[in-house]
Structure 1
Amino acid sequence: MKAVNIYLNFEGNTEEAFNFYKSIFGGEFMGGVMRFRDFPPMAGMEDMPPLKEDEKDLVGHVSLPMTEQATLMGTDITSNMPEKLIVGNNVQITLEADSVTEAERLFGKLSEGGRVVMPLNEMFWAEKYGACIDKFGIHWQINYTGDKAAG
């Protein structure tokens, strides 16, 4: 396996969400932000209903590298897509921090404007672990194993 990437779907606010994530993780969007109006015709999509005019400027694809092995990607769900967006706990992203300080920073930023599910505390497997739902409805787990990794 070369990499594991995380793909998030939003209902019209992908760009806002990804600018938020970029402010936390840094980096640049790979290839910029691609709008639906910029997509070339795609094989197998000829039978899909056309996009509504107000959906053409929504985000068709955006990628934000988080590490050399992980990229956060996303899109806006449009009215012509066969599946509708359901915000829930079906996606959780776990971040393994490099230090207690980084775990505290990530947890603080991601939970800001959202909801803390489990406060950042010591656990039997980790020096720090916490879970939150950010202001966009995405579920995050922050983990710093630290010295407990040895067992």
Structure 2
Amino acid sequence: MTVLNTYLNFPGTAEEAFNFYKSIFGGEFAMLSRYKDGPKMDGCGDVPPELGEKILHVSLPIGANMLMASDAVPPLCPPVTTGSNVSLSLHPDSEAEARRLFEALSAGGTVQMPFQPMFWGALFGMCADKFGILWMVNFDLPKA
């Protein structure tokens, strides 16, 4: 079964926003990582020191769902535009289904990041479908 989660991008306020959401929904962050702790990204150069503490990824369980986010701050990412700062994040339970979903959703749209292995042990890709809706597809690879 594929799980659908919401992914938000913030202009540098993800930590403040997620502390606010945590105060409302309760629980603990399932993950919180900062740009300074992540790997060097192809074509992005070093993370400027003033952006090192910004959020690379945060996730907060809410019931059976996960609310996730990052700080999308230039020069690391394109600037946040309200209205296009929300992505739907799919988490299929098989690699074949993940590839099928990514190919189908990106057909006629725009691939923003090819579906490929990532440093967190998953296959991941991002696209905008032909209607402009932003999608992320993440398949966690089996642990060896």
Q: Per the alignment, in what secondary structure is the counterpart of residue 73 of structure 2?
A: coil
Aligned to 1:57: 53
Structure 2 residue 76 is the aligned partner of structure 1 residue 81: yes
Identity of aligned residues (%): 42
**Take 2:73 and 2:48, find their aligned partners in 1: how far apart are those partners?**
8
Q: Per the alignment, in what secondary structure is the counterpart of residue 67 of structure 2?
A: strand
Structure having the higher strand fraction is 2
> What is the CA RMSD across the aligned residues, in angstroms?
2.3
Q: Per the alignment, in what secondary structure is the counterpart of residue 27 of structure 1?
A: coil
Is the Cα–Cα contact under 8 Å of residues 7 and 86 in structure 2 kept in the other structure?
Answer: no
Gaps of 5+ in 1: 94-151
**Take 2:48 and 2:14, find their aligned partners in 1: how far apart are those partners?**
17
TM alignment of 1:92-107, pairs within 5 A: none
Aligned to 1:36: 35
Tell me the number of residue pairs that the alignment of Structure 1 and Structure 2 aligns: 88
- How far the C-alpha of 1:62 sits from its partner, in A, is 0.4
Is the Cα–Cα contact under 8 Å of residues 49 and 80 in structure 1 kept in the other structure?
Answer: no
The higher radius of gyration belongs to 1
Give TM-score, length-normalised by structure 2.
0.54
**Take 1:90 and 1:46, find their aligned partners in 2: how far apart are those partners?**
22
Q: Please tell me the residue identity of whatever aligns with 1:51.
A: V
Q: Per the alignment, in what secondary structure is the counterpart of residue 4 of structure 2?
A: coil
Is the Cα–Cα contact under 8 Å of residues 47 and 76 in structure 2 kept in the other structure?
Answer: no
TM alignment of 1:67-146, pairs within 5 A: 67-68=63-64, 70-88=65-83, 91=86
Is the Cα–Cα contact under 8 Å of residues 51 and 78 in structure 1 kept in the other structure?
Answer: no
Q: Please tell me the residue identity of whatever aligns with 1:75.
A: S
Gaps of 5+ in 2: 89-144
Q: Per the alignment, in what secondary structure is the counterpart of residue 56 of structure 2?
A: strand
**Take 1:52 and 1:40, find their aligned partners in 2: how far apart are those partners?**
13
Give TM-score, length-normalised by structure 1.
0.52
Q: Please tell me the residue identity of whatever aligns with 2:34.
A: R
- How far the C-alpha of 1:48 sits from its partner, in A, is 1.5
Q: Describe the shift of the 1:51–1:4 C-alpha distance in structure 2 as closer, same or farther (beyond 3 A).
A: same
Q: Describe the shift of the 1:3–1:92 C-alpha distance in structure 2 as closer, same or farther (beyond 3 A).
A: closer
